[in-house]
Structure 1
Amino acid sequence: MTYFLSKAGMDFFIAFGVVIGGSMLAGVGAVFMLMPPATVMFDTAMRLKIWAIVAAIGGSIDPVKVIESNLTLGHLSPAAQQICFILFAFLGAHMGTELVKLVCKGGI
Structure 2
Amino acid sequence: MEDRLIVSMLQCFFIAFGVILGGTLIGSIGSFMTGEAPLTAMYRIAKGLRIWAIVAAIGGTFDAISNFEKGIFDGSTFDIFKQVMIIIAAMGGVKTAFLLFQWLLGDEVT
Q: Give the alignment's TM-score, normalised by structure 2.
A: 0.90
Give 1:27's aligned residue.
28
Q: Is 2:95 the partner of 1:67? A: no
Moved more, 26-35 or 12-21: 26-35
Instruction: Letter of the 1:8 partner, please give it.
Output: M
**Superposed, which structure 2 residues align to 1:41-56 within 5 Å?**
41-56=42-57
Deviation at 1:100, TM superposition (A): 1.3
Deviation at 1:60, TM superposition (A): 3.2
Deviation at 1:87, TM superposition (A): 0.6
Deviation at 1:72, TM superposition (A): 2.5
Give 1:78's aligned residue.
79
Give 2:90's aligned residue.
89
Aligned residues: 107
Deviation at 1:107, TM superposition (A): 4.1
Identity of aligned residues (%): 32
Give 1:3's aligned residue.
4
Map Cα deviations across residues 42-86 of structure 1 (whole Å, 9 max, x no partner).
000000000000000002311122112212332211110011001
| Structure 2 residues not aligned, in runs of 5+ | none
Q: Distance in 2 between matches of 1:26 and 1:102?
A: 18
Map Cα deviations across residues 13-48 of structure 1 (whole Å, 9 max, x no partner).
000000010001111112111111111000000000
Q: Give the alignment's TM-score, normalised by structure 1.
A: 0.91
Q: CA RMSD in A?
A: 1.2
Q: Distance in 1 between matches of 2:55 and 2:13?
A: 12
Q: Distance in 1 between matches of 2:56 and 2:50?
A: 10
Q: Distance in 1 between matches of 2:17 and 2:87?
A: 13
Give 1:57's aligned residue.
58
